[in-house]
Amino acid sequence: MPVPLLDVNAQNLPLESELQAAFTQVLHHGRFIMGPEMETFEKEVAEMVGVKHALSVSSGTDALLLALMALDIKAGDEVLCPAFTFFATAGAVSRLGAVPVFTDVCPICFNLDVNDARKKITAKTKAIIPVHLFGQCADMIPILALAKEHGLKVIEDAAQSIGARYRGTSSGTMGDFGTYSFFPSKNLGGFGDGGMLVTNDDGLAEYARVLRVHGGKPKYYHHYVGGNFRMDTLQCALLSVKLKRYAQYTADRQRNAAHYISELTKLPGVVQADPAHCKCVTSQDEWLVAQDAKIVLPVSYAHNEHIWNQFTIRVLGGRRDSLRDHLVSKKIGCDIYYPVTLDQQKCFADLPAASLSGCEVAHRVAGEVLSIPIYGELTEAQRLEVVAAIHEWLA
């Protein structure tokens, strides 16, 4: 039986009657822009993640842009961000005329390498954007310490990690701003585009709130140039229905990840990444050779609550595309997040050399990663089919 990489209907259709009731309510009151369901949804999210202010916005991308605008990031400012992430992280920086400076990543958790970030700070560096990739938080204590030491603003790109925790604290709530995305493939998947900006800072929240509506306050009186960064009332109403189930959605993904790990580590040549090698690629490589490893499974650090937006394995020895082709031939959904690092993108080719240097680990993992189905509604039979297909490829 085919196993898709993601099946949004499996999660959404069981809620059909509740979603229809939410739609009917919005249809009847007619307040399609900033209607009452918007405030309700914002409060619900703020409560779930434990943050003072939550502003729904048009997308995760716009949440990043709005955060940067509210922090007054301008042309010529440098902003540190990982080379291995979705494009929007750096795209938002560039759109303001600021300069993304790419940092290398950890080969174990795929997140920003804080030691590399430290080396790339200059007098122009104004902010850092740690991305909590694939549903696991970056190492925030050293990142926040580095930011404090150099007076940098911190925006957590938590598009893939709403509800994940780092030492008990929710992703997105540790920096000056955190951003979430409700793109359908994210863990809290919406019915179109949507996102959220969160902060514990009253002043920043107020400024972002004004920038969200073209910078006008009161309406038609503009002290600032903002944009239209609103999320539809309807989207908020529909997402409230799903938010009530969010803890279960996360538990289902965690169960799937645990099942993969227990089944896949039984196969010869499959090992789980060891956090002990987090900071040292050389010792990790020696260890992998000693294990005769062909596939490395992802790991959740003990201090993290991983929400598994992606289950991303590393295929060693230049054989990633071979495994991908095998899974595709078996009708098993899989994809490469991300095949090209940001420092290697054409649109950034003209950035100063210092923006693009020293991202060797990122380059390497981009050639090794493959994400396999992890969505919550996967059945046990489907998971075992994925495992069997990988076993077949290894043999």
Ligand X SMILES: *Cc1c(COP(=O)(O)O)cnc(C)c1O
**Please, what is the minimum distance in Å from the beta carbon of residue 342 to ligand X?**
11
List the strands of the sheet with 295-297, edge to edge: 270-272, 295-297, 311-315, 369-372
The region of 72-80, 157-165, 261-269, 361-369 touching ligand X under the rule CB under 6 A is 157-165
**Please, what is the minimum distance in Å from the beta carbon of residue 43 to ligand X?**
21
Question: Which candidate in 186, 217, 331, 346 is catalytic?
Answer: 186
If one asks whether residue 159 binds ligand X (CB under 6 A), the answer comes out as yes
Show contacts with ligand X in window 82-111 (CB under 6 A).
Answer: 85-86, 88-89
If one asks whether residue 67 binds ligand X (CB under 6 A), the answer comes out as no
Which residue lies nearer to ligand X by CB, 184 or 216? Answer: 184
**Please, what is the minimum distance in Å from the beta carbon of residue 157 to ligand X?**
5
**Please, what is the minimum distance in Å from the beta carbon of residue 158 to ligand X?**
8
Q: Which amino acid is at 53?
A: H
316-332 b/e with 16+ CB inside 10 Å = b?
Answer: beeebeebbebbeebeb
Q: Which residue from 61, 103, 235, 250 is in contact with ligand X, where contact means CB under 6 A? A: 61
Q: Which residue from 114, 129, 131, 278 is in contact with ligand X, where contact means CB under 6 A? A: 131
Whole-angstrom Cα distance, residue 157 to residue 151? 19
Whole-angstrom Cα distance, residue 89 to residue 363? 17
**Please, what is the minimum distance in Å from the beta carbon of residue 335 to ligand X?**
13
Whole-angstrom Cα distance, residue 121 to residue 150? 8
**Please, what is the minimum distance in Å from the beta carbon of residue 195 to ligand X?**
5
Whole-angstrom Cα distance, residue 66 to residue 92? 9
Q: Which residue from 37, 116, 139, 157 is in contact with ligand X, where contact means CB under 6 A? A: 157
Q: Which residue from 56, 125, 171, 181 is in contact with ligand X, where contact means CB under 6 A? A: 181
If one asks whether residue 171 binds ligand X (CB under 6 A), the answer comes out as no
If one asks whether residue 175 binds ligand X (CB under 6 A), the answer comes out as no
Whole-angstrom Cα distance, residue 19 to residue 21? 5
Q: Which residue is nearest to ligand X (CB)?
A: 60
Q: If you ran DSSP here, which 8-state letter would residue 230 be given?
A: P
Q: Considering CB under 6 A, how many residues would be counted as binding ligand X?
A: 15
Q: Which residue from 11, 136, 160, 304 is in contact with ligand X, where contact means CB under 6 A? A: 160
Q: Indicate if 186 belongs to the active site.
A: yes
Nearest to 395 by CA among 260, 261, 270: 270
- Could you count the other beta carbons within 10 Å of the beta carbon of residue 265? 12
If one asks whether residue 60 binds ligand X (CB under 6 A), the answer comes out as yes
The region of 32-40, 81-89, 114-122, 295-303 touching ligand X under the rule CB under 6 A is 81-89
Asked if residues 117 and 157 have their Cβ atoms less than 8 Å apart, the reply is: no
Which residue lies nearer to ligand X by CB, 231 or 295? Answer: 231
Whole-angstrom Cα distance, residue 274 to residue 284? 8
Cα 204–208–209 angle (5° rounding)?
115
Q: Which amino acid is at 159?
A: A
**Please, what is the minimum distance in Å from the beta carbon of residue 177 to ligand X?**
13
The CA R_g of the chain, rounded to the nearest whole Å, is 21
Which residue lies nearer to ligand X by CB, 160 or 284? Answer: 160
Q: Helical H runs in 154-277? A: 202-212, 233-243, 246-264
Catalytic positions: 186
Residues found near ligand X in the complex (CB under 6 A)? 59-61, 85-86, 88-89, 131, 157, 159-160, 181, 183, 193, 195
